[in-house]
Amino acid sequence: MRKPFALAFFLAFLASACGPRYLLKETRQLEGETWSYADSLSFQAAIRDTARIYDISLLVKHQTSFHFQNLYLRIHTGFPDGKKLTQVLSLELANKAGKWQGACRGDHCTLEVPIQLNAFFNQTGVHTFTLEQYMRADDLPGISALGIRIKEAGSRK
């Protein structure tokens, strides 16, 4: 009776070890499924190894009634030494024919967009990533959630 339990435990351990290893995998729901200028979202990642390579992506969950093909945002990166970097990004939520990218179920779609592959961090310590809506409208109805994913790329610099 012990052998089946031990085998099941071993197989579960192997299955969990085979998936991607995330340094950060966090998603925030937006109240009322609306993203306004005032609703910037901050995420923090503690970097311990400056030789490790990561893939960084953003996750966007939106309603199929969202009125735009793309989503402009600013991402502010705060480094442990106090320096900051700001970058404007355009995330393509739909293709040129108007078909939503990503996985759609019912009236919502979820899209993970790679924003930097094979990235590395020059400093150890806490890095802060702040996402800010950067469209021409104060409020964006139809944006349900946003997240950031930082996963190990499996190599070192």
pLDDT band at residue 4, thresholds of 50, 70 and 90?
low
pLDDT for residue 154: 79
Q: What is the pLDDT of residues 79-130, one digit of tens each?
A: 999 999 999 999 999 999 999 999 999 999 999 999 999 999 999 999 999 9
**Residue 153: how many CA atoms within 13 Å on its side-chain side?**
17
Confidence of residue 2 (pLDDT cuts 50, 70, 90): low
How many angstroms separate the CA atoms of 95 and 97, rounded? 5
Please give the CATH architecture assigned to the domain spanning 21-156.
Sandwich (2.60)
* pLDDT, position 70: 95
Can you read off the two tokens belonging to residue 56?
């960084």
CA–CA separation, 62 vs 27, rounded Å? 13
Strands in 6-95 per DSSP E: 22-29, 34-36, 41-47, 52-63, 70-78, 84-92
Distance between CA atoms of residues 56 and 77, nearest Å: 12
DSSP state of 14: H
CA 149/CA 63 separation, integer angstroms: 21
Contact (CB, 8 A) for 137 and 40: no
User: Is the pLDDT score of 13 beyond 60?
Assistant: no
pLDDT digit string, tens, across residues 29-76: 999 999 999 999 999 999 999 999 999 999 999 999 999 999 999 999
pLDDT value of position 20: 78
Inter-CA distances, 43 with 26, 27, 28, 109, Å: 8, 9, 9, 22
Return the pLDDT at 157.
65
pLDDT-based confidence at residue 5 (cuts at 50, 70, 90) = very low
Ordered strands of the 41-47 beta sheet: 41-47, 125-133, 70-78, 84-92
pLDDT for residue 12 is more than 70 = no
The model carries a pTM of: 0.83
User: Which pLDDT belongs to residue 15?
Assistant: 45
